[in-house]
Amino acid sequence: MNGKTVLVTGATFGIGQATALQLARLGASTIIAGRNEEKSQNVVDDIRQETGNPNVHYLLADLSSISQTVSLAEEFRARYSRLDVLVNNVGAFAWKRHLTADGLEQIFALNYLVGHFLLTGLLLDLLQASAPSRIVNVSSDAHFAGKIDFDKLQGNGRYSGWKAYSQSKLANVLFTYALARRLEGSGVTVNALHPGVVNSGFATPDNTPEILARGFRQVYGLFARSPSEGAETSVYLAAAPELEGVTGCYFADKQAKDSAKASYDRTTQERLWQVSLQMLDRFGVYPFLGRGSESRPEPGSP
pLDDT digits (tens, 9 = 90+) for 228-283: 788 999 999 999 999 999 999 999 999 999 999 999 999 999 999 999 999 999 99
**Domain architecture of the chain: domains with CATH:** 5-200+227-281 (3.40.50.720)
Short-list 89, 92, 88, 90, CA closest to 123: 88
In the chain, DSSP assigns E strands to 5-9, 29-34, 56-60, 85-88, 133-138, 188-194, 250-252, 255-257
Q: What is the mean pLDDT of residues 278-289?
A: 83
Q: Which residue has the higher pLDDT, 211 or 183?
A: 183
Q: Tell me the per-residue pLDDT of 72-113, one tens digit each, with 9 for 90 and over.
A: 999 999 999 999 999 999 999 888 999 999 999 999 999 999
CA pair distance 302, 297, nearest whole angstrom: 9
pLDDT for 30 beyond 90: yes
Q: How far is CA 95 from the centre of its chain?
A: 20
Q: What is the mean pLDDT of residues 208-219?
A: 55
CA pair distance 226, 103, nearest whole angstrom: 35
Residue partners of 245: CB distance under 8 A and separation at least 6: 132, 189
Question: What is the pLDDT at residue 157?
Answer: 83
Q: Cα-Cα-Cα-Cα dihedral of 261, 117, 297, 97, to 10°?
A: 80
Q: Which residue has the higher pLDDT, 157 or 199?
A: 157
Question: What is the pLDDT at residue 94?
Answer: 87
Short-list 275, 281, 270, 299, CA closest to 102: 281
Number of residues that make up the chain: 302
DSSP notation for 225-265: BPHHHHTHHHHHHHH-GGGTT--S-EEETTEEE---GGGG-
Q: What is the DSSP letter of 277?
A: H
Distances (CA, A) of 211 to 62, 114, 133, 159: 29, 32, 45, 21
Mean pLDDT for the chain overall:
89
Give the residue numbers annotated as catalytic, written as ranges.
Answer: 165
CA pair distance 206, 72, nearest whole angstrom: 25
